[in-house]
Amino acid sequence: MILKNKNPTARLMRQLQLSPAWKIALLLGFIAQLLLILFVTAIGLNQLAATSKNLGTVVDVHMRKQNLTKVMVVSARERTVNLFRMVESVDPFDRDDLFLQFNHNAEEFIIARADLIKMPLNSRERELLDMQRRFTGVSVPIQNRVVDLLNENVHEAETLLVKEAIPAQNKVLEVLSQLDKETQNTAFLASRKAAEAHDVARFWMYALSSVALLIGLIVAAVVVYFANRSSREREHLATHDSLTELPNRMLFQDRLEQALARALRHGELVGVLFIDLDRFKLVNDTLGHAGGDKLICEVAIRLLSAVRAEDVVARLGGDEFVVVITEARKVSQILQAVEKIIALVGQPYEIEGRELFSTCSIGVSVYPNDGVSSDVLIKNADTAMYHAKAGGRNRFQLYDQAMNAMAEERLQLETDLHYALERNEFVFHYQPQLNLKTGKVQALEALLRWEHPQKGLLAPAAFLELLEETGGIIEVGRKLLIDACTQLRVWHDAGFPDLSVAVNISGKEFWHEGLFANVQNALRVSGLPPSCLQMELTEGIFMQDTERATNRIMALKNLGVGVAIDDFGTGYSSLAHLKRFPLDCLKIDRYFVKDLEDAHINEAFISSILALCEGLNLCSVAEGVENSHQLERLRTLGCRVVQGYLVSRPIPAAQVEGLLARDWHQGFGDT
């Protein structure tokens, strides 16, 4: 089982050697600890005094509640008395004065009640206030009718006062009387409770102050005892992973060497399993590093339960583990352990109150088939693991020699990528977006290409993932953004001032802190109006952190550039997100355009997207238009802008101007 020592003192002991000088330091530290205990005790006593002061504050609060309640009671009673006196009075001037007092009583009552509601109240007090509100809602209209009748029929007013107004007001006074009693009881209980807490705090402060010194002595004895074990603890830290307590790389290497030596003596097989969790970064981004650490510990426990005691489970770092299956007679025995590990790791986890799923990819190398040294076996298992991930994750892959050639090819590609930027091998090819209404190209999408010196022109599928993994996409994107804006400015000066350019932004670029500075710099260097630049983002980017994504999109909008969702309909967006994100354009994915002639559901889907764009005041672009039948259906559905091979494949900048000058109505017919 995995043990994790979280005691900082014990960790400190592991890192120190027992020596006379250190013992003196320990003694001085103990004296400092005692002084610190006394200091903390003094602070506690000071806090006790503050508690006493708080007791007075509590009393003041409840006294104010009682005063406000009494004001309400007095105001209600005086209002009734003044109403009665108005009925009995025959002098109109006296009656006017009494009416003013009658209204003044109401104002005092309302103010006192409003102040009382703002104060901390218990459920009974709030219940009584609610009853008072209902009874007052009955009595006030009756009182107002009595006042209105004074000028018409005093006798009828007196009858209404006696039979309805006073009984109704008496109910209000009865509730206020109960409220007054309740506030008094609450004040008494609060004062008694605060006094009891004060007494308890005083008792424990004195008790703990006495015990603190004894604890200090015990702690010192324990520290000295564990200090004698510091060398062994330090060795443990040097050979085990601090998070999971599994063997680390150094100890794993040693145990693998021992397993290989035994296998050589007994003619056995040894399986080396290189394990990497799938999409572990997403867990870290979602739950934070603390949640990621908990998942790592849970995976470690499952790996230990999946293998035998004589096998080895180690953590190399991050989300990488290595398992050594020893004493195997057949490869099938090793693969049984692999399948068991995949099944166990793939079961749901409960992390911080949330259920999540995490799978793993496993590369397997076997001694002596795939190597006889530990380094070669680990390297080959790592290579096989990479192929398992490339094959779809949540699977395992046995090593074969052909993988080395592929790994070397990937390494060479990574090396070539390193020099590609400084050699200006990355370029944009441009694919036009045709406005069916005007018959003109209204925008160009800039698509990344790599002019590889040996392999020729490469599409992003061959290198983009590696470019993002190495982080080179940031520098490449920064430079090519300037190139795209500068090229568009050239076309503006050539007589196409209404033309705009759309540039794809990867997730790494979108979340990079330099994004806005790069956009501003590209616009400044090129002199391009911001409204002529549109940034295209995939739906998945938005879903990583919708709140932060909204803020970053708004920041781009504040720069004056447009924002579009690329490949819309195949990702994660919902109507709620579309309403929330300040977008300008939706690009309908080619998947829906491809089968437009045969799949009526695609036609309905496109029609819905176009209606959605119309309602949200967004522009729309249909991608992947390859034949005239698709074009006509899109035109019938109301699509205004299309993009695809029917118009043009992505072409170098030098060939674009011929497309811009063309009247496309002649090729596709008038709208």
Neighbours of 141 (CB within 10 A): 13
Rounded Cα gap, residues 111 and 182, in angstroms: 20
Residue 2 has a pLDDT of 40
The helix/strand/coil state of 27 is: helix
DSSP 164-229: IIHHHHHHHHHHHHHHHHHHHHHHHHHHHHHHHHHHHHHHHHHHHHHHHHHHHHHHHHHHHHHHTT
Report H helices in 434-538. Answer: 464-470, 472-493, 507-511, 515-526
The pLDDT averaged over each successive group of 10 residues in the chain (671 residues) is 39 44 60 67 65 64 81 83 80 82 85 85 84 84 82 79 82 82 78 72 68 69 68 73 88 92 92 91 78 92 92 91 92 91 91 85 92 91 87 84 64 77 87 92 93 86 78 87 94 94 90 92 94 89 76 92 82 60 87 79 86 88 91 90 93 91 71 40
In eight-state DSSP terms, residue 381 is H
Report H helices in 229-271. Answer: 230-239, 249-266
pLDDT digits (tens, 9 = 90+) for 534-546: 999 887 777 667 7
Residue 409 has a pLDDT of 67
What distance, in Å, lies between the first and last C-alpha atoms of the chain? 73
Query: So what's the architecture of 240-400 in CATH?
Result: 2-Layer Sandwich (3.30)
Using CB atoms within 10 A of its CB, is residue 335 exposed (0-12), middle (13-18) or buried (19+)? Answer: middle
Residue 502 has a pLDDT of 95
Residue 432 has a pLDDT of 95
Domain ranges in the chain?
47-204, 240-400, 477-668
**Is CATH 1.20.120.1730 correct for 47-204?**
yes
Which CATH topology does 477-668 take? TIM Barrel (3.20.20)
Read off the pTM.
Answer: 0.50
Q: Are 393 and 358 in contact (CB under 8 A)?
A: no
Q: Are 418 and 434 in contact (CB under 8 A)?
A: no
Q: Which residue type occupies 293?
A: D
Which residues of 253-359 form beta strands (DSSP E)?
A: 269-277, 312-317, 320-328, 349-351, 354-356
Residue 13 has a pLDDT of 40
